[in-house]
Amino acid sequence: MNDSGPVSRWRSWAPYLLSILRIVAAFLFMQFGTAKLFAFPGAIMPGGGTAPVASLAGVAGVLEAFGGLLLIAGLFTRPIAFLLSGEMAVAYFYAHAPHGFWPVLNKGAPAALYAFVFLYLSAAGAGPWSIDALRRGGGDIRGSRLS
């Protein structure tokens, strides 16, 4: 069987797509934290403004903003992703599940999705485009292994 066809080439992109998934998910996730802490890109707290850092929303904002930043960089990906997966599971069951079973109706779909994406990243790692990969000596920042 010939392994040089389009399917084989597509499979060779898997590690790089893992890095892209990590970067995009973390960028989107980080915005929830910056919105809670700094009202950037906009205020999302009830009544506008920002969350006090010592509040539950403030702690969540710190985890989301700075955990998201670490994931974008791909630094300490596995433990940070595991921590954020737990945060999102708690957020779902604490804030969304009491409002009904269906995530689309209780507005918990993003929390549930982030919980499972981060759980996957905690097992799969950061991918080749990350500081973690550079620290192990396996980073491929240029993407020269793509064919």
Q: What tens-digit pLDDT sequence spans the chain (147 residues)?
A: 556 788 889 999 999 999 999 999 999 999 999 999 999 999 999 999 999 999 999 999 999 999 999 999 999 999 999 999 999 999 999 999 999 999 999 999 999 999 999 999 999 999 999 999 999 987 665 654 443
In angstroms, the CA 139 to CA 106 distance is 41
Burial letters 1-17, b for 16+ CB under 10 A, else e: eeeeeeeeeeeeeebbe
The answer, yes or no, to whether the previous bond of 41 is cis (omega within 30 of 0) is yes
Q: Where are the domains of the chain?
A: 6-136
pTM: 0.90
